[in-house]
Structure 1
Amino acid sequence: MMARPIYLFSKTFNAEVTHVPILLTEFFQPRIDYSRYDAIVLTSKQAVTALEKISHDWVRLPVLSIADATAKQARDAGATVLEHGGGYGDSLAEIIRNGYPQWRWLYPRPEVVASDFAERVAAAGVSMEGVIVYKTTCNADVAALELDDDAILIFTSPLTVACFLQQHQLHPSHTVIAIGATTASALPDTVAILMPQKPSVQGCVDLAKTL
């Protein structure tokens, strides 16, 4: 039996599957006074790239990362990683409230966010300032993509779902994998969704290869 085709809708490339660059990223250059903060919270690898494009000064502050991959990129850039979360905004909120509630946090964020963790942390009395450093939009070129009827589709953020649904349709013969609960909630209620035990791109790919 031939292996089913696997399509990864993500900003992150993976050589084991067909990577579909469904998102485009535009970086901004806001002025940031790092002396006003004690630490940085990172929710994506794009946030690391955005900070590097602004200035290398950010690495002087310790960082809290949402997951392993973002933590690795931050370390590779020269930053000190305090901890990393479990891939969800909720995990970051818990770490900050329980471990660093008195710190002044910088949140370099996208124009549109998928989680309200920053608002909940701020509501708990923690100093959290968001600065928009990039925005992500749909890649119109992906509209020409032809999907196999028996394809396995991996979605890695709510925006990858939104962009896909603007350009394509989900069919009953497709198998859908969402990286986590937030992404799964962006999919239609009628779709059966699989999720990996660990919310990561590699976890999604490993799950897809078992199907």
Structure 2
Amino acid sequence: MPKKIYLFATSKSEHAINVKSLDVRYLKPDIDFSKYDYLIITSKQTIKALNQYDKKDFINIPALCVSPKTADAYIKFGAKVLAVGDGYGDNLTKNINEFSKDTKWLYLRAEVIASDFVKKCKEEGYQIDEKILYVSECSQEIMDVRVDSPSVLIFTSPSSIECFLKNNSITSEDKVIVIGTTTANFLPDATEYIMSQNTSIQSCIELALQIK
């Protein structure tokens, strides 16, 4: 019998038992967009949070997007994309290093972030301001869920692991799939896992469907 597939994410798949990992609360800090040459966007939640602002204030400021999926969402939002990363926040330093240190960046982010790329870039002399546009909290759904082992567990963010482990554990019988290295780093020590080839939920699901 095929193992049950649990997807811990804010997105859904028809091939999995979908468990929303986070509830998102949006913030609206004052922002003078005119001060910046480029934006940095690392999640679709940021794009949703931007709906609170007058589009004309930022829509023509190109954004460095962390992944192709985020870039697609930003284009559909009607905005401009400057460059697209490979899906890993840590690697955005490579993109930023292609620009002058006189460039003024604004990183629109969550309250809690897993990557320290901004700190590294600032240490190198780059000008990056940060504004927190949303707060992520463990959803009641993930706090209440109880998985049937053995199962396939798909984790799409560090917080999805942290929230799951509050009331659950990962057994040796479970198969674990993670969306990337940053997420994998939050697994309990010695946990065996498979990493998706691309940093996308679809890639994780394709892997899960191959597991007998």
1:51–1:58: 8 Å Cα contact kept in structure 2? no
| Matched residue type, 2:58 | W
Aligned partner of 2:114 in structure 1 is 114
User: What is the match of residue 46 of structure 1?
Assistant: 45
- Match of 2:31, SS state, is coil
Show the counterpart of 1:164.
164
Aligned to 1:206: 206
Q: Equivalences for 1:25-64 in 2 at 5 Å? A: 25-56=24-55, 57-64=57-64
Letter in 2 for 1:85: G
Q: Deviations over 1:159-198 (max 9, x none)?
A: 1110000121111111111111110000011210110111
Tell me, in whole angstroms, the C-alpha distance in 2 between the residues paired with 1:141 and 1:63: 33
- Paired residue type of 1:13: K
SS in 2 for 1:98: coil
Q: Partner of 1:209: helix, strand, or coil?
A: helix
**In structure 2, what residue type is equivalent to 1:186?**
F
**Residues 127-159 of structure 1: CA distance to partner in whole angstroms, max 9, x if unpaired?**
100101101000123333231212100111111
Aligned residues: 210
Aligned to 2:187: 187
- Residue 82 of structure 1 is matched in structure 2 by 82
Match of 2:5 in 1: 6
Q: Root-mean-square deviation (CA), in Å?
A: 1.3
The question of whether the paired residues in 2 share the 8 Å contact of 1:30 and 1:54 is answered with no
DSSP 3-state at the match of 1:25: strand
Deviation at 1:18, TM superposition (A): 1.8
Structure 2: distance between partners of 1:174 and 1:100: 47
* SS of the residue 2:191 aligns to: coil
Task: Please state how far the C-alpha of 1:14 moved relative to its aligned partner.
Answer: 2.2
What SS is found at the alignment partner of 1:59? coil
Give 1:126's aligned amino acid.
Y
**Are the equivalent residues in 2 in contact too, given 1:151–1:175 (CA < 8 A)?**
yes
* Aligned-pair CA distance for 1:73: 1.0
TM-score (norm 2): 0.94
Deviation at 1:3, TM superposition (A): 2.5
Say if 2:106 and 2:128, in contact at 8 Å, map to a contact too: yes
Q: How does the TM-score come out when normalised to structure 1?
A: 0.95
The letter of the residue matching 1:117 is: F
Structure 1 equivalent of residue 22 of structure 2? 23
Instruction: Find the aligned partners of 2:127 and 2:145 in 1 and give their Cα distance.
Output: 44
Unpaired runs of 5+ residues, structure 2, are none
Amino acid paired to 1:65: C
Which structure 1 residue ranges, 5 or more long, are not aligned?
A: none
When structure 1 is superposed on structure 2, of 142-151 and 198-207 the one drifting more is 142-151
The answer to whether structure 1 residue 175 and structure 2 residue 175 are counterparts is: yes
The letter of the residue matching 2:158 is P
**Following TM superposition, where does structure 1 have runs of at least 4 consecutive aligned residues deviating by more than 4 angstroms?**
none
What secondary structure sits across from 2:98 in the alignment? helix
1:45 Cα shift?
A: 0.5
In structure 1, the residue matched to 2:97 is 97
Q: Give 1:129-168 correspondences, 5 Å limit.
A: 129-168=129-168
CA distance, structure 1, for counterparts of residue 90 and residue 169 of structure 2: 31
